[in-house]
Amino acid sequence: MVEVQRAVETELDRIAPVIDDLGRRFNEAGHELALVGGPVRDAMLGRPYHDLDFATSALPEETERILKPWGDALWDMGRDFGTIGCRKGDWVVEVTTYRSEVYDTSSRKPEVAYGDSLDGDLVRRDFTVNAMAVRVPGRGLEDPYGGVVDLAHRVLRTPGRPEDSFSDDPLRMMRAARFAAQLGFTVDPAVVAAMTAMAERIEIISAERVRDELVKLICAPYPRLGLTLLVETGLAQRVLPELPALALERDEHHRHKDVYEHTLTVLEQAIDLEERLGGEPDLVSRFAALMHDVGKPRTRRFVEDGTVTFHHHDVVGAKLTRKRMKALKFSNEQIDDVSKLVELHLRFHGYGDGEWTDSAVRRYVRDAGDQLERLHVLTRADCTTRNQRKADRLRRTYDALEERIARLREQEELDSIRPDLDGNQIMELLGIGPGRDVGAAYQHLLELRMDHGPMTDDEARAALLAWWADRT
């Protein structure tokens, strides 16, 4: 506890030019100001942060009057919720009036009521570790609900009854899973019980807010913890039903992997390979790993010899992925990228034990397009076999494929494969105008390019004329 106190004091000294100055300005205007929530928690954990959140007794218009001459830039998009924001140097500062948020039983939006005390504000916050505050400029710590102790024990509890907290804002149930994934904390049994009992209440929350929490969870250091909590409490059934559906029933007569556990392992292995993508959490890669097998429940078939097949689960899975991501309001670009990876994740295994022709390599690169590096990651992560010899063989085979791609790249423009004649040249040579025949000719030349590699101008013209002669 002493070490935590020292860490906080050191951190407060570091940000003193901002918090002490701002605290004095509010104090001189007759208002309270306190650093609250995430910055206090992260200071105790030694985690980096860039935003400073404050709570105040001042109403929004008074806050704006104080911040306007102090900040470098000001914004008030959160005014309806009592929040005024500004930028001060490298810091983003948000100051919110003491408040109480309560959801109507059928409303998606909170009803905002201003409070009159810091303690009253803190009890409305999601978890005790986020319900701590440091008054400024005096720097007195306020921890009425035991956040420091819970931080030390690495547990998530609510300041009051979890049922009351989740009734006020059902999104907090998602936040519990997200914080478990971000911090590696366990969740208090009473909180888990309330999440389970109230899971259906998440349905009043907008898809955009649910999506944002899910993205933060998936991009966190320990996503398995958060996803497991969502599945066990029934929340996943309402926000990402494809995930719990992967827990297929098994019996002693039919052999197949536990698809749900396999999926979580693939996600973790994809995370381990993110250095190939720049080292930062990559949402597209992670979400593709999470969704890559969602087509299996709909395509499962039992074979007489005791095996189980999942034919075309890649195509079915891509459609399910696209549908779910649309429902969660992801961007079209993200939907396209993730769906493409899900659809292509088996392509590597369709070429046997590495006997790839140049034509097959070209098609693999063309179909992956700008998602090729992510496809490398997903394909490698999708190997979860415990048979070390098989795992080593698959790794060596994929190493060989990447080497083939690299060699062909040196010889050809693999990343922008196109026919050896363009549309204008095709029309000129065949003496035709724009239309379907031009498209068919273009596609024929593209297939020749895939099969045989680059041709000379004379070879391409001869091939096109021979194809045209056969058609006419």
Does the pLDDT of residue 306 top 90, yes or no?
no
Inside any domain, residue 249: no
Inside any domain, residue 247: no
- 224 shares its domain with 294: no
Q: List, for residues 280-300, the tens digit of each pLDDT value.
A: 999 999 999 999 999 999 988
Q: How far does the chain reach from its first CA to its final CA, in angstroms?
A: 87
Does the pLDDT of residue 324 top 80, yes or no?
yes
Q: What would the two tokens of residue 324 be?
A: 């779910």
Please report the pLDDT score of residue 69 as a whole number. 95
- 87 shares its domain with 6: yes
Inside any domain, residue 321: yes
CB 368 within 8 A of CB 345: no
- 125 shares its domain with 216: no
Q: What would the two tokens of residue 93 be?
A: 């500062």
β-pair type (133-135, 33-36): antiparallel
Angle at 222 between CA 219 and CA 228, to 5 degrees: 100
Angle at 217 between CA 214 and CA 222, to 5 degrees: 155
- 171 shares its domain with 137: no
- Report the C-alpha gap between 375 and 167 in whole angstroms: 42
Of 107, 124, 147, the residue at which a domain comes to its end is 147
- 260 shares its domain with 400: yes
Please report the pLDDT score of residue 251 as a whole number. 44
- Report the C-alpha gap between 221 and 224 in whole angstroms: 9
- 372 shares its domain with 347: yes
Q: Which amino acid type is present at position 276?
A: R
Q: List, for residues 432-447, the tens digit of each pLDDT value.
A: 888 888 888 888 888 8
Of 240, 269, 289, the residue at which a domain comes to its end is 240
pLDDT-based confidence at 12, cuts 50/70/90?
A: confident
Domain, as residue range, for 52: 1-147
Give the domain CATH number at 395: 1.10.3210
Q: List, for residues 172-195, the tens digit of each pLDDT value.
A: 999 999 999 999 999 999 999 999
- 169 shares its domain with 209: yes
**Range from 66-80, 207-221, 394-408, 436-450 carrying the lowest mean pLDDT:** 436-450
Inside any domain, residue 348: yes
Q: List, for residues 210-236, the tens digit of each pLDDT value.
A: 999 999 999 999 999 999 999 999 999
Give the domain CATH number at 195: 1.10.110.30
Q: Give the total number of structural domains in the chain.
A: 4
Percentage with pLDDT > 70 across the chain: 92
pTM of the model: 0.83
